[in-house]
């Protein structure tokens, strides 16, 4: 899939006493941004220690900091990453492992990719044996529901509103921050504040 700028693929937000702060992994973007996510290389390694320092400074007082730090700190300080796809997959798998999420994670490049945005998505679902595709609401501008219907795949639009607030550091509750905020604050109880969508 194509890499897009100013998106969540290489950045996320944390909560600090001064408000929300972006943490960005620098990447090398070539040409007019037509490169694939899997081909998007990380630019340098200084970001990793800076990110961990920011997390430690802002979440050290969180009730489950030590528990989460035991497995997340080594990912920052001893990992060696060349591209953003590799980095994201490793962190996603680590979070899933901690939460006991058993969902099979695969790469789009392991499948035959059709032309056409909607056709490609629907066909990926079919190849993976999926019966439902869950999409963010921003895709409503280009996803054609009929393409999924023709293949017998249910299309569900994810609603990001209405999440239950959880105990959080630094003032009023803030939505839209990294899952690490939830984990540092709630530990293994994080599942109580997560929503599961689908059949």
Quick one: 92 and 186 in the same domain? yes
- DSSP class of 176: S
Prediction pTM value: 0.86
Among candidates 174, 11, 173, 191, which has minimal Cα distance to 96? 191
| Domain membership of residue 134 as a residue range | 111-157
* 181: nearest Cα among 165, 193, 194, 168: 168
188 plus 123 within the same structural domain: no
Number of domains in the chain: 2
First to last CA, the chain: 26
| Same-domain check for residues 51 and 94 | yes
> What does DSSP assign to residue 122?
H
Domain contains 4? no
Per the domain annotation, does 199 fall within a domain? no
Q: Which percentage of the chain shows pLDDT scores above 70?
A: 93
157-182: pLDDT as tens digits: 988 777 889 999 999 999 989 999 99
Residues 18 and 67 in one domain: yes
pLDDT digits (tens, 9 = 90+) for 105-152: 888 888 888 888 889 899 999 999 999 999 888 888 888 999 999 999
Provide the 3-class DSSP secondary structure of residue 173: coil
Instruction: Tell me if 14 sits within 8 A of 24, measured CB to CB.
Output: no
Question: Is 99 found in the same domain as 173?
Answer: yes
Residues 178-199 pLDDT 10s = 999 999 999 999 999 887 665 4
- Specify the pLDDT at position 33: 58
């Amino acid at each position: 899939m194509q890499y897009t700028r100013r998106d969540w693929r290489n950045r996320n937000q944390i909560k600090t006493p001064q408000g929300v702060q972006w943490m960005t992994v620098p990447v090398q973007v070539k040409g007019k941004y037509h490169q694939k996510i899997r081909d998007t290389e990380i630019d340098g390694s200084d970001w990793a220690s800076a990110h961990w320092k920011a997390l430690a400074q802002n979440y050290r007082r969180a009730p489950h900091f030590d528990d989460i730090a035991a497995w997340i700190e080594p990912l920052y300080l001893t990992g060696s990453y060349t591209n953003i796809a590799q980095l994201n997959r490793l962190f996603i798998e680590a979070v899933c492992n901690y939460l006991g999420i058993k969902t099979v994670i695969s790469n789009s490049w392991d499948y035959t990719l059709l032309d056409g945005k909607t056709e490609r998505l629907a066909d990926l679902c079919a190849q993976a044996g999926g019966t439902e595709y869950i999409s963010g609401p921003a895709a409503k501008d280009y996803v054609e529901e009929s393409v999924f219907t023709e293949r017998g795949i249910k299309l569900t639009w994810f609603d990001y509103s209405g999440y239950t607030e959880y105990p959080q550091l630094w003032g009023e509750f803030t939505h839209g921050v990294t899952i690490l905020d939830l984990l540092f604050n709630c530990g293994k109880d994080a599942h109580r504040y997560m929503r599961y969508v689908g059949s």
